[in-house]
Amino acid sequence: MQPAPTARPRRGWRETVEPGIYRIHRVGCARSADRRPGGRCGCPYQIKAPGRAPGTTRNVTHSGPLPDARAERRRLLAAGRPEPPAVLEADGGVRTVRDLARAWLQTVEGQLAPSTLWFYAAAYRRGVDPALGALPLAELTRARAVAWFGEVARTRSRHGAWEARTALRAVCKFGVQVGLLAENPIAGLRLPRGTGGEPARAGSRRVLTASQLGRLVAACTSTRAEVMVRMSAEAGLRAGEVIGLRWGDLDLAGCRVTVARSVWQESRGRGAAPVHHVKAPKSGLAGTVALPVGLAARLADLYAEAVIDGGAAADGYVFPGRGGKPLDRHAPGNMLRRACARAGLVDRDGRPLVSWHGLRHTAASLMLAQGVPLPDVAAQLRHADPAITARIYSHSLGEDRQHAAAAVFDGLYPTRTVRETVRGRHSEDYKCCFAGGSCTCSHDF
C-alpha cells in the first residue's frame, strides 16, 4: 500500500486491478488521494486489447462493473485486431509522417506476413517516430532526412540504424506512390563505414567450430534438446522452422526433412496469452533438406520417446509446447543458453558464444570449411540464389582457401638475386654473416 499524498493529486490514479484491466480514478475520487486498492467508486475501467498493428495494444474504456469488464476483455482478445479503416487518400487528413506511416501500415496489412508487419511497425516506433513522427510532410526534405539519419547512426547501433532507415524508406516510398511526396528523401542514404578496428558485419557473426559444436551437443541434457540444437547446427533450420516442424515432415529412412512452415509468435501485451501464426518459410516455398545419418537416428530415438512411449500425436509437432501447441519462441534460446553455460561456451561476460540463428551460420561455415561446393550449401540452406550464400558466408571460406589462392604466385620467381645467393653461401658453406661488417671471405661464384 502506497502512503497517502499530503496534497491534492494533480491527476487521477490508474489502479491495476489485474493484468490487462485497470481502473482510471478521477482526480476528485477519494482513491486518487489515498491510493487504496479495491475501494468502491464509480470510476470507469480501462481494458488493454490488441491494437490494429501486430505488437501494439489499445486501451478501451468500460463503465460497467468488474465482471462485465472481464467479459469484455475476453471478447476483445477473441476478436483479435480490429479491421483497419479505409486507406487515407491524398486529401484524407495525412499531414505528418506519423499519419503517412499509419496509412501505409493499413495498406500493407493484408499483403505482408504478420512478422514482417511487426518488424516495420516496431522499427518505425523505435527509431523514426520519436524524432520525425510529428513532422509535417512538407518539411520532410532531403536535408532533414540526412540530419535525422546522421543522428540515428550516431546514437543507435548499426543494426538499429539500418532498421530505422528501412522503415522510413518504405513509408516514404508509399508517400511517393500516392502523390503525398514529390520524392523519397531517404532513398540512397547508406550507413557510414565502420572504423578500421571494427569487424565487418558478416565477419562478426559468431559461429562455433566443430569441436565447440561437439561440446555443445554433449552438454544437452535430453534427446529433445540435442535434436533441437542439431536441427539448426547441422540441417540449417531457422528457429521458427524448428518450432513448426511436424513428424509428417520427416523422412527418416531417406534422411530428408521437408521445411513446410514456420511459426511466428505475436505478443499481445502483458497478461495476454501470445498468439502463434503459422506461415510459409522465409523463401515462401517449402524446401527439402538432407539430414545427417546420425541426426536421423536421434530423431528416431526422439520419436520413440515422445510418440511411442509418451503417447504424443504422430502428426503433431516434433517439439511441442504445452497442450500440443507450438513451442514458445523464447524456449529454444533459453535452452541454448543453459547448454552453452554447461559446455563453457561463454564469453567473459557470461554470454553464450553463439545465438540460435548463429547455429544456422555454424552449419554453413562448417560445410564451407570442409570444401562443400557453394551451390550445394545454398541448396541446403534453401537460399533462392547462391549469390546470397556467397555474400553472407564469404568470411567462412577459411584461411586454407586464402593460402591456396596466395600459393598461385609461388614458383613464379625461381631465380634468386646475387645478394641472396651470397648470403646463402655464407650461411651454408662458411658459417659467417654480414652483421659484423664487410666480409673478407673469398668466394668462387
Is the domain of 111 the same as that of 220?
no
Q: What is the pLDDT of residues 112-169, one digit of tens each?
A: 777 788 888 888 988 899 889 899 998 999 999 999 998 888 888 888 888 999 999 9
Within 10 angstroms of residue 442's Cβ, the number of other Cβ atoms is: 6
Q: For residues 191 and 200, what is the distance between their CA atoms, to the nearest angstrom?
A: 13
Domain boundary among 25, 49, 79: 79
Within 10 angstroms of residue 381's Cβ, the number of other Cβ atoms is: 24
Report the pLDDT value the prediction gives residue 402, as an integer from 0 to 100: 62
Domain boundary among 155, 177, 199: 177
Residue 46 pLDDT greater than 90, yes or no: no
Is the domain of 171 the same as that of 214?
no
With respect to residue 1, please indicate whether it lies within any of the assigned structural domains: no
Q: What percent of the chain has pLDDT over 90?
A: 28
- Closest by CA to 241, choosing from 211, 262, 268, is 262
Q: What is the mean pLDDT of the chain?
A: 80
With respect to residue 258, please indicate whether it lies within any of the assigned structural domains: yes
Is the domain of 350 the same as that of 223?
yes
How many structural domains does the chain have?
4
At residue 120, the 3 state secondary structure works out as: helix
With respect to residue 115, please indicate whether it lies within any of the assigned structural domains: yes
With respect to residue 25, please indicate whether it lies within any of the assigned structural domains: yes
- Closest by CA to 208, choosing from 24, 83, 82, 364, is 364
pTM of the entire structure? 0.60
Q: Tell me which of 15 and 40 has the higher pLDDT.
A: 15
With respect to residue 5, please indicate whether it lies within any of the assigned structural domains: no
Q: What CATH number is attached to the domain comprising 303?
A: 1.10.443.10
With respect to residue 187, please indicate whether it lies within any of the assigned structural domains: no
Q: What is the pLDDT of residues 353-398, one digit of tens each?
A: 999 989 999 998 888 888 888 888 888 888 877 787 777 776 655 5
Is the domain of 281 the same as that of 360?
yes
With respect to residue 197, please indicate whether it lies within any of the assigned structural domains: no
Q: Which domain holds residue 294?
A: 210-402
- Closest by CA to 318, choosing from 242, 394, 383, 389, is 242
Q: Tell me which of 85 and 365 has the higher pLDDT.
A: 365
Q: For residues 413 and 393, what is the distance between their CA atoms, to the nearest angstrom?
A: 34
- Closest by CA to 256, choosing from 235, 241, 242, 236, is 235
Is the domain of 113 the same as that of 75?
no
Domain boundary among 79, 106, 124: 79
As a whole number, mean pLDDT of residues 425-436 equals 49
Within 10 angstroms of residue 162's Cβ, the number of other Cβ atoms is: 17
Report the pLDDT value the prediction gives residue 112, as an integer from 0 to 100: 75
Is the domain of 74 the same as that of 102?
no
Unique residue bearing C-alpha cell 530423431: 299
Is the domain of 315 the same as that of 226?
yes
Is the domain of 267 the same as that of 384?
yes
Element (H, E) at 45: strand 45-50
Q: For residues 58 and 110, what is the distance between their CA atoms, to the nearest angstrom?
A: 20
Report the pLDDT value the prediction gives residue 283, as an integer from 0 to 100: 67
Is the domain of 386 the same as that of 337?
yes
Assign 317 a pLDDT band (cuts: 50, 70, 90): very high
Is the domain of 419 the same as that of 398?
no
Residue 10 pLDDT greater than 60, yes or no: no
Assign 1 a pLDDT band (cuts: 50, 70, 90): very low
Positions of E strands within 175-308? 250-251, 256-259, 262-266, 275-279, 287-290
Report the pLDDT value the prediction gives residue 40, as an integer from 0 to 100: 80
As a whole number, mean pLDDT of residues 182-210 equals 66
With respect to residue 30, please indicate whether it lies within any of the assigned structural domains: yes
In single-letter form, the type of residue at position 152 comes to V
As a whole number, mean pLDDT of residues 250-270 equals 84
Is the domain of 231 the same as that of 287?
yes
Report the pLDDT value the prediction gives residue 43, as an integer from 0 to 100: 86
Is the domain of 366 the same as that of 275?
yes
